Amino acid sequence: MSIANNNIKVLVVDDSALMRKMIPMIISTDERIQVVGTAMDGEYALKKIESLQPDVITLDVDMPRMDGLAALKVIVRDFGIPVILVSSITKKGAATALKGLELGAFDFVTKPNDAISLHISEIACELIEKIKAAAGCRMPKIPKPSSAGFKQPQQKPVLPNSPAEIVVAVGISTGGPQALAEILPSIPGDFPAGIVIVQHMPEGFTEFFAKRLDASCQIRVAEAGNGSLISPGTAFIAPGGSHLRVKKSSFGLVTVLSKSPPVSGHRPSVSVLFNSVAEEIGRGAIGVIMTGMGDDGVEGLARIKANGGIALAQDEETSVIYGMPRVAVERGCVDTVLGLHDIVPEILNIVDRRSAKAASLLSA
């Protein structure tokens, strides 16, 4: 996307007159952002797009007449403009935001319930950062799902509740929900390793996200708790607002949650997870850093590689934002760079080789 005069033109869509005043006010504090217009609902927004030609649209999801999801479908189909959803921090808001990501939204921010108290200013930095990222993004050239939404798979296989010897640790941010919904369903239910995931997402959203993934996957997917056993064929997602670590116990590897300060500006932080995986698992670790802004996870991925594990990164072509993987590649802490749909086959190959090697050592 080419941004004229280095300015990012933004159209703000919200049915609240207060929000139509406050959002432009807070994002215009950045000299690169120019709010070119506002609209009170989806219908007005669609009428203004051609004349205003915005580079990015912020879109409320709950509006009369034409709501955010209905407008999003048209914007994605007819205009290809990056959309940042503005969602309430409720179960309904979480469901709608995740549905919006499935439909092609770039990302979302959560709207404070009490905007009149000026708490809206708390999201200013996040919204400005995501507007800039959206304006500079190149949508990935990856195959679209054959039909929208999550599919219910066949019944999951019954696996022994035994500890995993190999653990795949995934760090992902902007573009992550779409990417995970693409690749996790391709992992077989009898996958002989455990999976732990940090997806940058607010508190209250990750539980719902994990349940939606679980419904579409052959493996089991759940939000991590304190002391959850990391077993084969199971993926745990870090809860929003909590760091996720792994730790050896008498039962095997378990998950540990904490509210310690944010790392790299995030809680959960990918680096916190990766560092613990490197220390506790060593050669049995596979680290995967995927689409997202910034450099969270890079330090931890380097430690996984240094401790004998395998370090993988998503490529630029299929990343919504080639930030975290790019930094990892530039710092030389990646073994292999892969397209989105090559990541799972590579993981399966690595796990098969390591499982076969372990079996041969036991029989020797």
CATH code for position 248: 3.40.50.180
| DSSP β-ladder status, 56-60 and 33-39 | unpaired
- Identify residue 162 by its one-letter amino acid code: S
Asked, for residue 159, whether it belongs to a domain, the answer is no
Asked, for residue 144, whether it belongs to a domain, the answer is no
Q: Are residues 216 and 82 in the same domain?
A: no
Lowest mean pLDDT among 88-92, 125-129, 307-311, 334-338: 88-92
Asked, for residue 78, whether it belongs to a domain, the answer is yes
Confidence of residue 146 (pLDDT cuts 50, 70, 90): very low
- pLDDT in the model for residue 183: 96
Q: Are residues 178 and 125 in the same domain?
A: no
Give the three-class secondary structure for 180. Answer: helix
Q: Are residues 245 and 339 in the same domain?
A: yes
- Identify residue 354 by its one-letter amino acid code: R
Name which of 348, 268, 282, 269 is nearest 310 in CA terms.
282
Lowest mean pLDDT among 57-71, 127-141, 274-288: 127-141
* Percent of the chain topping pLDDT 90: 73
Q: Are residues 54 and 194 in the same domain?
A: no
- Over range 209-231, report the average pLDDT: 95
Asked, for residue 263, whether it belongs to a domain, the answer is yes
Q: Residue 149 is encoded by which pair of tokens? A: 């939404």
Would you say 321 and 293 are in contact if contact means Cβ atoms under 8 Å apart?
yes
Reading phi first (left if > 0) and then psi (alpha if -120 to 50, else beta), residue 349 is in alpha
- pLDDT in the model for residue 314: 98
CATH code for position 50: 3.40.50.2300
Which of 87, 115, 135 represents a domain boundary (last residue)?
135
Asked, for residue 231, whether it belongs to a domain, the answer is yes
Give the three-class secondary structure for 149. Answer: coil
Report how far residue 264's alpha carbon sits from residue 76's, in angstroms, rounded to the nearest whole number: 32
Asked, for residue 65, whether it belongs to a domain, the answer is yes
∠ CA 149-129-26, rounded to 5°:
110
Asked, for residue 64, whether it belongs to a domain, the answer is yes
Please give the residue range of the domain that contains residue 186: 167-363
What does DSSP assign to residue 65?
S
Q: Which residues are catalytic?
A: 173, 200, 296
Would you say 223 and 236 are in contact if contact means Cβ atoms under 8 Å apart?
yes
Give the three-class secondary structure for 127. Answer: helix
Would you say 203 and 164 are in contact if contact means Cβ atoms under 8 Å apart?
no
Would you say 346 and 313 are in contact if contact means Cβ atoms under 8 Å apart?
no
Q: How many domains does one find in the chain?
A: 2
Which of 84, 114, 135 represents a domain boundary (last residue)?
135
∠ CA 27-126-80, rounded to 5°:
75
Q: Residue 137 is encoded by which pair of tokens? A: 């993004």
- Identify residue 223 by its one-letter amino acid code: E
Q: Are residues 246 and 356 in the same domain?
A: yes
Would you say 123 and 95 are in contact if contact means Cβ atoms under 8 Å apart?
no
Q: Are residues 110 and 185 in the same domain?
A: no
Which of 77, 112, 135 represents a domain boundary (last residue)?
135
Q: Are residues 100 and 245 in the same domain?
A: no
Q: Are residues 250 and 186 in the same domain?
A: yes
140: exposed, middle or buried (Cβ count in 10 Å: 0-12, 13-18, 19+): buried
Residue 149 has φ and ψ, to the nearest 5°, of 95, 180
Give the three-class secondary structure for 163. Answer: coil
Q: Are residues 56 and 183 in the same domain?
A: no
Q: Are residues 129 and 173 in the same domain?
A: no
Would you say 313 and 305 are in contact if contact means Cβ atoms under 8 Å apart?
no
Give residue-wise pLDDT tens across range 181-191: 999 999 999 99
Q: Residue 204 is encoded by which pair of tokens? A: 């209250």
Q: Are residues 197 and 98 in the same domain?
A: no
Residue 84 has φ and ψ, to the nearest 5°, of -110, 115
Question: Which H helix or E strand runs over 311?
Answer: strand 310-314
- pLDDT in the model for residue 155: 67
Report how far residue 363's alpha carbon sits from residue 66's, in angstroms, rounded to the nearest whole number: 65
Confidence of residue 28 (pLDDT cuts 50, 70, 90): very high
Asked, for residue 148, whether it belongs to a domain, the answer is no
Q: Are residues 90 and 188 in the same domain?
A: no
Give residue-wise pLDDT tens across range 308-361: 999 999 999 999 999 999 999 999 999 999 999 999 999 999 999 887 765 554
